A and B are shown apart, each in its own frame.
Chain A
């Protein structure tokens, strides 16, 4: 029974990592950049919902839609102002550093606007917890919604990428930007669209993260962002189902590490497992092997 409870805790935590990792892996897979600011877009999404619900009294659903709109615009603006000018720069690290700058910027803007006080986020999920085995096992409504949302996003994104024209364009851009351009694909537009989708996913992730763990500060996004990055690598960077599997596994490992080994060393355990997995399978669980051309 205890084991099952831990497993469910792990899945709850993992589902949150998964939903963040989906946005991460989407941007990484297409634009080939580590968007370190993704975690902070999540934070902006959560603040938007918080303000909309507590100050403007909006109901949950419109608040989430508003937050998605805000994050989409934010994502596109960031891409346009900070990332696009660096496309084709001499080193891919240039845009990585800029992303770090954007991350600092968002954190400090949030600090300036919302202050440093912790806000307690009231949940947007109206479901009551699911009780099994005579009340010994509880699965919270947030977990159920987060998992369902993750699955929906995985299916939706896969359909979008494989079945629609803009989706195919994304695939082409991710394979070879130069060739895509020659085929008449608007590379800049496609990448902007990727950021738009990735950022609106971040808004959803932000809302669900803060519903499950209701504590919101300007730095809320940064650690889950790093963990989600780890999850995305775990599952194989660029792979959409991989991000979901990676996220959930990461959550389970973290909880089991705390429960059965040591709660002081939870981080070390998570990272050690990651290293072992990558050494056995160097491109993550569902990652494509890197082909090398001579």
Chain B
């Protein structure tokens, strides 16, 4: 028997504190969950940072209904099991409201827990349908099906292409979800899907085969329902093989212009449907982007924007139902549910956003095209 294990287990057993922590009722305790380590860390960190910015702003302006907001963000490593561990840790902390989780699969696992506890949950970016299945769960972003359908509609209605190729990540829930609804909608549109190729999490460096197939099929538009990291590689490799179709992305494409060291001329003419544009001129966006750059460096992506909006939506809903942190978790949840469906919310990711009882947002995505290295609205 290993001596270390023996000693360590005694020490750990001795120090294990059994606690049901005392609930301090003078602040709002909002928990956040997302990957801050591992391959998906970039999304989780963006959300954590943006939540902190929003909380600081809200606190400075007097809090929610006069109570200050406290944020605690836990890492889930983009894994369902770890996300549930994170959720339980936050419960011990005294969390009353959950803003999370960032990615879809962990979100589905956590949603089952929040439903059990009747804890209000709003996910900034969990886009799979099941993420907001419970009555207590809302989301800020669009669902995958909505994005796929909207993209196909947009391409069809504007006659952007006759032959469309798709390159998607078959090991990713988000990407597969959009791809499938895109294909479904494409059947009733005036273009033809000529090539569908996938890649996986473990082989996402070389895209020459996928691009070659699209080129051979004569596709004049390539639909990329994927995140910008892989998209930047695809654009680079397409340029190297002198293949220049129109590239059309979804909200995951946002951020491509801000990849450090990326040659933005490669992204010239790329179109994307996204609710958030960091270069937008309005005061809200400008304020958020400059704060984010100052505190954390780099341009915030749509995950950050969704998270920022998420906390403000919580604030608006809590104020609409006149809630205070003294109430029970379940009462807060009921109050927020009622509040969410009654508010009309102007945020970074769209003005006049409303939520229905299923927790789904209604807002318009903006169609953008990259011109001269910046986003320009289409039409």
Contact = CB atoms under 8 A, between A and B. Distances in A.
Interface stretch (A24-32, A174-182, A237-245, A255-263): A255-263
A62 B78 CA distance: 38
B185 to A, nearest CB: 22
A259 B206 CA distance: 12
Nearest to B206: A13
Contacts of B236: 120, 214
Interface in B189-228: 197-200, 202-203, 205-206, 208-210, 212-213, 216, 228
Interface stretch (B141-149, B257-265, B280-288, B330-338): B257-265
B229 A263 contact: no
Given A115-B298, A118-B229, A215-B232, A259 B212 contact: yes
B206 A140 contact: no
Given A54-B260, A120-B260, A254 B45 contact: no
Contacts of A54: 260-261
A38 B78 CA distance: 24
Contact of B197 (A13, A213, A214, A263): A263
Nearest to B258: A117
A120 B261 contact: yes
A259 B263 CA distance: 28
A266 interface: yes
A224 B206 CA distance: 11
B41 interface: yes
Given A6-B212, A9-B209, A259-B212, A119 B45 contact: no
B259 A120 contact: yes
B261 A263 contact: no
Contact of A116 (B42, B202, B209): B42
Contact of A259 (B202, B209, B232, B258): B209
Interface residues of B, number: 39
Interface in A245-276: 254-255, 258-259, 263-264, 266-267, 270
Contact of B202 (A129, A217, A223, A263): A223
A115 B258 CA distance: 14
Nearest to B301: A117
A56 interface: no
Given A217-B229, A263-B198, A267-B203, A2 B37 contact: no
A138 interface: yes
Interface in A110-152: 111, 115-122, 129, 135, 138, 140
B259 A118 contact: yes
B212 A2 contact: yes
B203 A266 contact: yes
A262 B260 CA distance: 33
B233 A129 contact: no
Interface residues of A, number: 40
Interface string B125-143: 0000000000000000000
Given A215-B229, A266-B200, A111 B260 contact: no
A258 B42 contact: no
B14 interface: no
Contacts of B229: 118, 215, 217
Interface string B228-262: 11101100100011100000000000000011111
Contacts of B39: 217, 219
B373 interface: no
B312 to A, nearest CB: 24
A67 to B, nearest CB: 16
Contact of B261 (A9, A119, A217): A119
A255 B298 CA distance: 35
A219 B30 CA distance: 30
B216 A115 contact: no
A263 to B, nearest CB: 5
A194 interface: no
A164 interface: no
A140 B233 CA distance: 15
A162 interface: no
Q: Which of A118, A214, A264, A270 has the most CB of B within 10 A?
A: A118
A259 B210 CA distance: 8
B41 A116 contact: yes
A217 B45 CA distance: 14
A254 B199 CA distance: 11
A270 B38 CA distance: 24
B321 interface: no
B170 interface: yes
A111 B41 contact: yes
A116 B301 CA distance: 13
Given A54-B260, A115-B297, A215-B229, 5 more contacts: A6-B212, A12-B208, A108-B37, A213-B206, A263-B198
Interface of A: 2, 5-6, 9, 12-13, 16, 50, 54, 108, 111, 115-122, 129, 135, 138, 140, 213-215, 217-219, 223-224, 254-255, 258-259, 263-264, 266-267, 270
14 contacts: A111-B37, A115-B298, A116-B41, A117-B260, A138-B242, A215-B233, A217-B39, A219-B39, A224-B205, A255-B209, A259-B213, A263-B197, A264-B200, A267-B200
